[in-house]
Amino acid sequence: MVRKNKEARLTHPSVHAAVTPDKIAYLMAGSGAALTYRQLDERSNQGAHLFRSAGLATGDCVAILMENCLEFLEICWAAQRAGLYYSPISRFLKKDEVAYIIADSGAKVLVASPAMLAGLGDAALPAGLIVFSTGSSWQEALAGQPITPIADEIAGADMLYSSGTTGRPKGVLQPLKHQPITTLHPLLKLLAVDMIGMNSDSVYLSPAPLYHAAPLRFSMLSAAVGATAVIMEKFDAELYLNLVAKHRVTHSQLVPTMFVRLLKLPEAVRAAADISSLRGAVHAAAPCPPDVKEAMIAWWGPILIEYYAGTEGNGCTVINSTEWLAHRGSVGRALVGKPKIVDDETGEVLPNGKIGSVYFADGPQFKYHNLPAQTAKAYNAEGWSTLGDVGYLDDEDYLHLTDRKAYMIISGGVNIYPQETEDVLIMHPAVQDVAVFGIPHAEMGEEVKAVVQPAEGFEAGPALAEELMEFCRARLSPLKCPRSIDFDPELPRTPTGKLLKRLVRDRYWAKA
């Protein structure tokens, strides 16, 4: 399904600023604020000069803390062309968590929005940190800088922190390779350019927070190939469909939680949506329930591309819609690195069909910033690396994920993977969100527990709990079904769709 793309050689906004200076590079969906390629080039040049005047040299780091906005992308491009690391920080973290990432990253500059700065309050920020506010000091400092390139341009890179779904966020550091600023991220080129055909004629819709890896990287790739990117300030399912029609969106990157919310829109809203312009929809970040994906393909057509990879960039599998229908539930075959299924106890490679830890052999190397023990833990004796997921390869070497290793339930000596149970329960109309995990059991070791966020219009209580358990028992082995169900008004998820299951599970383990 590889498509030739004549624009793939154009790999930086500065190239497009010279050719199509008045074309819109970025457009904010809500406010309508826009940035042309000329403006993006000039402002990122000014930002690069400002970083140099602040004393930042190649390999130094800039931290970014703000809502989705045009300045976010200007700053990333400024750091990119100045050979700097740029570390976007989730705006939903607490002030002490933000301070930890700023200190851990070694950032010398923090650029934040006024609201985010106010939220930091008395947080203990590193001594000597230079702080700019996009409401005042950032624009004032930029105004006196040249709009021409700095003399020592070199490609920088992102240093992103994991979502912290199973612990404290970890910074993923990729070594700078002293390449020209037109160097395109090779994995993104494979996914976005070669697989789904993004080019200068594309209109890309980004519905997720830019501090997360995929939304940021795809939004930056959009400008690298000369497309126009429409950036949503916040995801809303019905608004998303309206934006696709309004801007004739051709490509987008989503997460499975967004699919669920789109599918749960009223039938009349879905039927009226004009999605005819869409040519490619990429999704990743979390496992997609098979019934959800099947429903999306039936609605949008065979335009979904799924990939499995992490911020670490140590490997990647990819699968298109046609392949997925023949390998239901798979996340694809190898694109970068070679998937290996390993028995953690023996270290042996398991045959196809057997479940074990997912490793990538012959993939790019990575390290967790300031965490040598965590980095070592991610590698085995063969030098293969893992993201902590569990799965198996089918007879045609398509990878299937079963869950995170940390969430596997062992009940009476039997391994149970809660993702399968969650995939069933999320399809019930009364379920808005669900977390399944193990809780202590005196005889069995652990038993299966579900915590459900009810959909609007459904009343939590024993009757609904029994209905959901019956729904589950009709579709799964009794061993995989919850022994009990509790309800929560809202389960904790990152805005990029990752369930913070540890926060829910810890409530029960703490009591035990």
For residues 161 and 473, give the distance between their C-alpha atoms in angstroms, rounded to a whole number. Answer: 39
Radius of gyration of the chain (CA): 23
- Across 207-292, where does the E strand assignment appear? 228-231, 251-254, 280-283
For residues 492 and 499, give the distance between their C-alpha atoms in angstroms, rounded to a whole number. Answer: 6
- Quote the distance between the C-alpha of residue 255 and its chain's center: 8
Architecture of domain 13-257: 3-Layer(aba) Sandwich (3.40)
- Fold of the 312-407 domain: Luciferase; domain 3 (2.30.38)
For residues 457 and 392, give the distance between their C-alpha atoms in angstroms, rounded to a whole number. Answer: 39
3-state SS assignment for residue 49: helix
Q: So what's the pLDDT on residue 6?
A: 43
pLDDT averaged per 10 residues, the chain (length 512): 43 94 98 98 98 97 98 98 96 88 97 96 93 94 96 96 68 89 80 84 96 92 96 97 98 91 95 97 85 96 93 91 96 94 92 95 91 91 92 96 77 78 92 92 83 94 95 88 94 80 84 67
Q: What is the domain partition of the chain in residue ranges?
A: 13-257, 312-407, 408-511
Tokens 């990729």 belong to 174
Contact 82, 153 (CB under 8 A): yes
For residues 255 and 51, give the distance between their C-alpha atoms in angstroms, rounded to a whole number. Answer: 34
Non-local (6+) Cβ contacts of 212 within 8 A are 88, 90, 160, 163, 285, 494, 495, 496
Element (H, E) at 349: none
For residues 367 and 378, give the distance between their C-alpha atoms in angstroms, rounded to a whole number. Answer: 9
Q: Residue 6: what residue type?
A: K
Contact 33, 71 (CB under 8 A): no
Non-local (6+) Cβ contacts of 25 within 8 A are 13, 16, 35, 36, 37, 39, 40, 222, 223, 228, 229
Q: What is the DSSP string of 276-325?
A: TT--EEEE-SSPPPHHHHHHHHHHH-S-EEEEE--TT-S-EEEEEHHHHH
- Options 3.40.50.300, 3.40.630.30, 1.20.1050.10, 3.30.300.30; CATH for 408-511 is 3.30.300.30
- Say what the pTM is: 0.84
